[in-house]
Structure 1
């Protein structure tokens, strides 16, 4: 009687297999995109912490190098451009012009370079853990932002001694400039991380292109030179969203340090800078959507290539 009341259990392998055959299969793949990244915030935090820690492992000074390196760069720019070349007499506080521009360009190049190799570099972790693969290029962006803060400290000290007096327009310009760079860099990092899986030369191509970016934006030279040399034909130059972002950052940090801000804006800033900036930001978001769709299309083919 007791045996009749107990549920019947599979007694051999065949019956167990028959029972499992009726269980619906559920894909273990995690949710992708921004939603998937937000669902795995703890893993994202661990990835960023691991990348930051790995950079300074075995170093005696550790995080102090994050301050020493930008400080020596800034002092070098002061010596070369102000004392050696005498350019400081023509362009007021040109060292700040260069350093603020290098910060935003460095954020872009570091994010794209690290994001391109992020999936291949973490292939072992990716195969062991179920997580959105977009998390790796996104973590590269956060690591680049983390390493940017010591540079802001050095820049802030320099701005204090040069009498930086920004208005609301300048602050909006800075936020817009960095917004363009972060969205644009993330879009390229997501798309190129897919390319690196199938074409391992992608990382080397990105490294070469990054060398040209530094000279394709008004960083080591003022925009006034571009406007003078290409009179009325600067639209193609300004179609580069990185150039727009650099000019917006200069509008935020460099222009308020000059004695005659109106004259500096008229001579060294293009017309309709904010309009160009918002168009560039919109284009960066469109590119991010396209990059996400490319990523989704090839995501299932990545494991066999890794």
Structure 2
């Protein structure tokens, strides 16, 4: 006499467990990442080489405008390393956040045909952004080594923490605006504006001391509460400062206060994005 197997709990169609479903569907995630790479470079001659060209052109333009014409290169030691370390990080955020916000609409035809954990679309854009980030990171490492990079273990650790902040933040914002874009297509324009503003509201092109001198005392903590600002400064601390004489100042309480604050804010954004996604994903097929 055979015993009946326990029944699986019923699951409401079209709903999943949010980001908790992602590790269980690693194979699907890999397929989506491969699809994104193939679609993006279909018919392209240079392919992944564009990962070098875009930041290279950005660096050249900003270096000429700010480094040479405005004189930042004269007042800062190894300003090219400072500039490029900020550019590669903000480029990762812009790509991961922007493509994550468009992921649901871009994959609308697939969402309407079959069910699979929809968070995979957003998570795959972060992985694609990481793939494009790696060539830029290699160029940055080479440049740092050429000018005498000598990081401590702490500085190597903060580089990893900076990337963790940006991954959590870009994934969380990608989920939030990915949901918003399903219902309000104007969200794409807001994402473009936020990505542009993020470059100038964080010390990618200029030094944080300029901000501290101009802002009133109560406003500077608000500036430092921006997780992107903290991540960029951590990258500067890990890559740029070891190439200088060691006298370059870092923002007050960067490691002891602002880094935990940035990690906390990024994690909260990710959790809120996941909750928002799980609440509304059942309406995606209808809206798309």
- 1:284 equivalent in structure 2: 266
| Structure 2 residue 131 is the aligned partner of structure 1 residue 140 | no
2: CA distance between counterparts of 1:75 and 1:293? 41
Aligned residues: 278
Hey, what does 1:18 align to over in structure 2? Answer: none
CA contact (8 A) 2:101 2:188 kept: yes
1:272 maps to what in 2? Answer: 253
Find the partner of 1:109 among 69, 84, 94.
94
The CA deviation at 1:223 is 0.6
Match of 2:276 in 1: 294
**What pairs with 1:207-246 in structure 2 (closer than 5 Å)?**
207-230=192-215, 232-233=217-218, 234-246=220-232
Shift of 1:38: 1.4
Q: How far has the Cα of 1:217 moved from its partner?
A: 0.7
- After TM superposition, the score normalised by the length of structure 2 is 0.90
Q: Which residue of 2 aligns with 1:162?
A: 147
What secondary structure does 2:234 align onto? helix
How far 1:285 moved relative to its partner?
Answer: 1.1
Q: Distance in 2 between matches of 1:243 and 1:250?
A: 11
Q: How does 1:1-306 map to 2 (within 5 A)?
A: 27-29=12-14, 31-230=16-215, 232-233=217-218, 234-259=220-245, 261=246, 263-265=247-249, 269-274=250-255, 275-306=257-288
User: Per-residue deviation at 1:79?
Assistant: 4.5
Q: Alignment partner of 1:147: what SS?
A: helix
Structure 2: distance between partners of 1:138 and 1:45:
10
CA distance in 2, matches of 1:61, 1:218: 31
Partners of 1:81 and 1:94 within 8 A in 2:
no
Distance 2:227 2:12 in 1: 39
**SS across alignment from 2:264:** helix
- Which structure is higher in RCO with an 8 Å CA cutoff and minimum separation 6? 2
Which has the larger Rg?
1
Can you list the C-alpha shifts for 1:86-123, whole angstroms capped at 9, x where unaligned?
Answer: 42221011111111111111111211111111011101
**SS of 1:270 mapped into structure 2:** coil
List runs of 5+ in structure 2 lacking aligned partners: 1-8
Gaps of at least 5 residues in structure 1 are 1-23
Looking at structure 2, the residues matched to 193 and 64 of structure 1 have their Cα atoms a distance apart, in angstroms, of 28
